[in-house]
Structure 1
Amino acid sequence: MKETLNNTVGFRVARVANHINQTINTLLSEYGIAPEQRILLEILTSCEKVNQTTLATLLNKSHTTISRTLDSLEKKELIVKKSVEGDKRANVIAVTPQGQALLERTEACVLAFRNTLAQKLTDEERKMLFTLLDKLS
């Protein structure tokens, strides 16, 4: 029996990912920030001395995509890039007070959305989903 597109793993994962992205995009649009930009701010706030390469690896994104997103955040004055002493090519990225304020303003809606997703699954289902997603990646 031929497998239909709707029953392929890639299609189903992509459909769910698109739904999640569209929903969070709508929630964050009133704040003038995209989900990809917010997640970078969140990572930069929680990790010390993060650079572009680390971000690209962590998010499994290309260096170019991360660079473009960081440039956009820098233009909005939500981050600053600081040169590393002794290496002109290396930068450490820090969240500005404006970036921190934006994170705080968006925190309630992001947490509510994450909780809404989490409540749809039991703890056991969530563990299994993470296991399966890790296996696929």
Structure 2
Amino acid sequence: MKNSLQFKLGVVTKIVFKKMNAQLVQEGIPVLAEQLPILMVVYFQEHAMTQQEIANLLQKDKAGIQRSVQTLHKDGFLKIESDIEDKRKNLVTLTPSGKFVCERIQAMVIAFDNRVMEHFTDAERKTFIGYLDRVAAVAGE
């Protein structure tokens, strides 16, 4: 069991999120690592997104996304507006604070990635990323 894919990926994910949350606190960024995917999905889009689009992209349930979006809105990182064409939909965009936080987070992610990957050769990095891509493809079938 300790050598199962699920266990190993779970351990790595837990460590990465714990380190990232500690670094976010240290940097004074009031966001949890678990909320980062929502911010980053909105950041990399060129247009406002609905909460359903965010949920679909992240493969998460809409209710969970709605709760996180509301929290990020309350904290001043996301702006929520009603869709002019369909009042049942909310359009989500970043506020200037949200954009600033995303830019800082990108720098943190790159630095963390570099700290971990410096222990691998270029060939090992490519092989490792290739394995992860293959696992994702096979698991997603």
Mark yes or no: TM-score above 0.5: yes
Q: CA RMSD in A?
A: 1.7
Match of 1:55 in 2: 54
Check whether the contact 2:77–2:95 (CA below 8 A) recurs between aligned residues.
yes
Give the AA of the match of 1:14.
G
Within 2, Cα distance between the matches of 1:133 and 1:26? 27
For structure 1, the 5+ residue unaligned runs are none
Within 1, Cα distance between the matches of 2:59 and 2:114? 24
Aligned runs of 1:1-137 on 2, under 5 Å?
5-29=1-25, 30-47=28-45, 48-119=47-118, 120=120, 121-137=124-140
Deviates more, 1:25-34 or 1:63-72: 25-34
What secondary structure sits across from 2:13 in the alignment? Answer: helix
Taking structure 2 as the reference length, the TM-score comes to: 0.83
For structure 2, the 5+ residue unaligned runs are none
Deviation string for 1:51-91 (max 9, x for gaps)? 11121122121111111110111001111111111311111
Corresponding pairs, count: 133
Given the superposition, is the C-alpha separation of residues 18 and 98 from structure 1 closer, same or farther in structure 2, using an over 3 Å criterion? Answer: same
Q: CA deviation at 1:27?
A: 1.2
What secondary structure sits across from 2:88 in the alignment? Answer: strand
Deviation string for 1:79-120 (max 9, x for gaps)? 111111131111110101111122233332222113334444
Which structure carries more relative contact order (alpha carbon 8 Å, separation 6+)?
Answer: 1
Give the AA of the match of 1:69.
S
Within 2, Cα distance between the matches of 1:107 and 1:9? 28
Within 1, Cα distance between the matches of 2:112 and 2:67? 26
Q: CA deviation at 1:131?
A: 0.9
